[in-house]
Homo-oligomer: A and B are copies of this chain.
Protein backbone atom coordinates (compact mmCIF):
# COMPACT_ATOMS: atom_id res chain seq x y z
CA UNK A 1 0.00 0.00 0.00
CA UNK A 2 2.73 2.47 0.92
CA UNK A 3 5.33 3.08 -1.75
CA UNK A 4 8.82 4.49 -1.42
CA UNK A 5 9.98 7.32 -3.62
CA UNK A 6 12.11 4.88 -5.58
CA UNK A 7 9.15 2.65 -6.31
CA UNK A 8 7.09 5.60 -7.41
CA UNK A 9 9.93 6.76 -9.63
CA UNK A 10 9.98 3.36 -11.20
CA UNK A 11 6.31 3.21 -11.96
CA UNK A 12 5.80 6.79 -13.03
CA UNK A 13 9.00 7.12 -15.00
CA UNK A 14 9.85 10.31 -13.14
CA UNK A 15 13.23 10.52 -11.44
CA UNK A 16 13.34 10.66 -7.66
CA UNK A 17 14.71 14.14 -8.10
CA UNK A 18 11.75 15.13 -10.19
CA UNK A 19 9.36 13.64 -7.64
CA UNK A 20 10.82 15.74 -4.87
CA UNK A 21 10.84 18.71 -7.18
CA UNK A 22 7.17 18.26 -8.06
CA UNK A 23 6.35 18.04 -4.39
CA UNK A 24 8.22 21.24 -3.60
CA UNK A 25 6.35 22.88 -6.44
CA UNK A 26 3.06 21.95 -4.83
CA UNK A 27 1.91 19.55 -7.51
CA UNK A 28 0.75 16.85 -5.18
CA UNK A 29 -2.88 16.96 -4.16
CA UNK A 30 -2.12 16.23 -0.54
CA UNK A 31 1.16 16.44 1.32
CA UNK A 32 3.05 13.19 1.03
CA UNK A 33 3.01 11.22 4.24
CA UNK A 34 6.25 10.36 5.92
CA UNK A 35 7.58 7.43 7.82
CA UNK A 36 8.86 8.04 11.31
CA UNK A 37 12.34 8.47 9.86
CA UNK A 38 11.20 11.16 7.46
CA UNK A 39 11.02 9.07 4.34
CA UNK A 40 8.17 9.68 1.95
CA UNK A 41 5.37 7.17 1.71
CA UNK A 42 3.23 7.40 -1.40
CA UNK A 43 -0.21 5.89 -1.84
CA UNK A 44 -1.69 4.46 -5.01
CA UNK A 45 -3.77 7.62 -5.18
CA UNK A 46 -0.59 9.64 -5.25
CA UNK A 47 0.64 7.57 -8.15
CA UNK A 48 -2.67 8.06 -9.97
CA UNK A 49 -2.46 11.76 -9.38
CA UNK A 50 1.09 11.85 -10.64
CA UNK A 51 0.09 9.93 -13.72
CA UNK A 52 -2.45 12.63 -14.41
CA UNK A 53 0.15 15.34 -13.87
CA UNK A 54 2.38 13.57 -16.34
CA UNK A 55 -0.40 13.51 -18.92
CA UNK A 56 -0.88 17.21 -18.37
CA UNK A 57 2.81 17.91 -18.65
CA UNK A 58 3.33 15.80 -21.71
CA UNK A 59 0.55 17.68 -23.40
CA UNK A 60 2.23 20.97 -22.68
CA UNK A 61 0.57 22.20 -19.52
CA UNK A 62 3.11 24.26 -17.56
CA UNK A 63 3.85 23.19 -14.01
CA UNK A 64 2.37 26.46 -12.92
CA UNK A 65 -1.01 25.57 -14.33
CA UNK A 66 -0.87 22.10 -12.88
CA UNK A 67 -0.25 23.73 -9.56
CA UNK A 68 -3.31 25.92 -9.99
CA UNK A 69 -5.40 22.90 -10.80
CA UNK A 70 -3.99 21.08 -7.83
CA UNK A 71 -4.83 24.02 -5.61
CA UNK A 72 -8.42 23.94 -6.79
CA UNK A 73 -8.69 20.27 -6.04
CA UNK A 74 -7.07 20.75 -2.68
CA UNK A 75 -9.59 23.43 -1.79
CA UNK A 76 -12.28 20.81 -2.09
CA UNK A 77 -15.77 20.90 -3.59
CA UNK A 78 -17.33 24.15 -4.70
CA UNK A 79 -14.96 25.26 -7.45
CA UNK A 80 -15.86 22.71 -10.09
CA UNK A 81 -16.58 25.47 -12.57
CA UNK A 82 -13.05 26.79 -12.16
CA UNK A 83 -11.56 23.39 -12.68
CA UNK A 84 -13.72 22.93 -15.73
CA UNK A 85 -12.58 26.25 -17.16
CA UNK A 86 -8.98 25.31 -16.66
CA UNK A 87 -9.46 21.90 -18.22
CA UNK A 88 -11.34 23.34 -21.18
CA UNK A 89 -8.58 25.84 -21.73
CA UNK A 90 -6.06 23.06 -21.88
CA UNK A 91 -8.30 20.95 -24.05
CA UNK A 92 -8.40 23.73 -26.62
CA UNK A 93 -4.70 24.22 -26.34
CA UNK A 94 -4.01 20.56 -27.01
CA UNK A 95 -6.42 20.50 -29.92
CA UNK A 96 -4.66 23.51 -31.40
CA UNK A 97 -1.30 21.85 -30.93
CA UNK A 98 -2.51 18.77 -32.77
CA UNK A 99 -3.73 20.89 -35.65
CA UNK A 100 -0.44 22.69 -35.88
CA UNK A 101 1.55 19.49 -35.76
CA UNK A 102 -0.58 17.95 -38.43
CA UNK A 103 0.10 20.90 -40.66
CA UNK A 104 3.82 20.63 -39.94
CA UNK A 105 3.69 16.94 -40.63
CA UNK A 106 2.16 17.58 -44.03
CA UNK A 107 4.96 19.96 -44.89
CA UNK A 108 7.65 17.61 -43.65
CA UNK A 109 6.14 14.64 -45.40
CA UNK A 110 6.11 16.63 -48.58
CA UNK A 111 9.78 17.47 -48.19
CA UNK A 112 10.54 13.84 -47.43
CA UNK A 113 8.83 12.64 -50.55
CA UNK A 114 10.77 15.11 -52.63
CA UNK A 115 14.04 13.91 -51.19
CA UNK A 116 12.96 10.33 -51.70
CA UNK A 117 12.49 10.86 -55.40
CA UNK A 118 15.67 12.80 -55.43
CA UNK A 119 17.66 10.05 -53.76
CA UNK A 120 15.96 7.25 -55.68
CA UNK A 121 17.05 8.97 -58.87
CA UNK A 122 20.63 8.42 -57.76
CA UNK A 123 22.99 10.96 -59.16
CA UNK A 124 20.05 13.04 -60.23
CA UNK A 125 21.10 15.31 -57.39
CA UNK A 126 23.95 16.49 -59.52
CA UNK A 127 21.51 17.76 -62.08
CA UNK A 128 19.92 20.19 -59.71
CA UNK A 129 20.54 23.87 -59.53
CA UNK A 130 23.76 24.67 -57.66
CA UNK A 131 22.25 27.50 -55.59
CA UNK A 132 21.07 25.07 -52.96
CA UNK A 133 18.61 27.29 -51.28
CA UNK A 134 16.69 27.72 -54.45
CA UNK A 135 16.33 24.02 -55.08
CA UNK A 136 15.35 23.69 -51.49
CA UNK A 137 12.79 26.42 -51.37
CA UNK A 138 11.39 24.83 -54.47
CA UNK A 139 11.27 21.67 -52.42
CA UNK A 140 9.30 23.31 -49.65
A104 touches B48 (CB 8 A): no
Work out how many copies of this chain go into the complex: 2
Judged by a CB distance under 8 angstroms, whether A38 is at the interface is no
Chain B: CB-nearest residue to A74? B132
Chain A interface bracket (under 10, 10 to 19, 20 to 34, 35 or more): 35 or more
What is the predominant secondary structure among interface residues of chain A facing chain B? helix
In this complex, the member of A73, A87, A97, A104 whose beta carbon has the largest number of chain B beta carbons within 10 angstroms is: A104
Given contacts A125-B77, A140-B52, contact A87 B101 (CB under 8 A): no
Judged by a CB distance under 8 angstroms, whether A128 is at the interface is yes
A101 to B49, CA, bound (A): 19
Judged by a CB distance under 8 angstroms, whether A64 is at the interface is no
| 0 or 1 for each of A79-110: is its CB under 8 Å from B? (1 = yes) | 01101100110110011011011101101110
| 0 or 1 for each of A45-58: is its CB under 8 Å from B? (1 = yes) | 10011011001101
Could you jot down 23 A-B contacts, CB within 8 Å? A29-B132, A29-B136, A45-B133, A45-B137, A48-B140, A49-B136, A52-B137, A58-B104, A59-B101, A73-B132, A73-B133, A77-B125, A77-B126, A78-B126, A80-B119, A81-B119, A84-B112, A87-B112, A91-B105, A91-B112, A98-B102, A98-B105, A101-B101
